[in-house]
Structure 1
């Protein structure tokens, strides 16, 4: 009895598609920050995080605003993603983080990680 090779060909095609899809997913997860691309994106950050001298915000409550220049990019990315998910609760930061894509977050984190630490 002669068997058809069509099912074998279909299995090979599906395996190739699955491998290609898997590599596309891993590539999409590897977002690399570009500090030069962040220059226009950090305008909303500078209003609070760029003020030296122990700046405190009054909305929604009095809160000491941290200086983020010189922080680790990984830390900044994790913090922004936590705000975006709602795990961190500062309302202004939650709203800002929700407006950022993963690429935006990586770019902003790369930008601030390359800044010098400001003295307070």
Structure 2
């Protein structure tokens, strides 16, 4: 019995457990931080250098979720995106990914 309980606890704590289920409707209250850059066609950011900001509408939800997780962990280095992602929960990220993936 103890072995099964321990195994169940280890599986539940595993990073391989299912990710949060995204809710595109819930994301509508969370997209304000994205709209100003990612929903303007041809927008170029000037910090830390000038570059074209990608439109993310219609991008794969899996890709968006992966990118936001990478910014949050520091695996991607853009300072603005790292700052935004640092304040997002797993549920926020899943919701934003579902929203933009469905566009």
> For structure 2, which runs of at least 5 residues remain unmatched after alignment?
none
Selected match of 1:75 from 45, 59, 63: 63
Return 5+ residue gaps in structure 1 as ranges: 1-11, 116-120
- For 1:67-86, what per-residue CA distance to the aligned partner results, in whole angstroms no more than 9, with x for missing partners? 00000011111111111111
Name the residue aligned to 1:64.
Answer: 52
Structure 1 vs Structure 2 CA RMSD: 1.9
Between Structure 1 and Structure 2, whose CA radius of gyration is higher? Answer: 1
Which portions of structure 1, spanning 4 or more consecutive aligned residues, are displaced by more than 4 angstroms? none
Q: Does 1:43 align with 2:32?
A: yes
Partner of 1:94: 82
Scaled by the length of structure 1, the TM-score of the pair is 0.76
TM-score (norm 2): 0.87
- Displacement of 1:40 after TM fit? 1.1
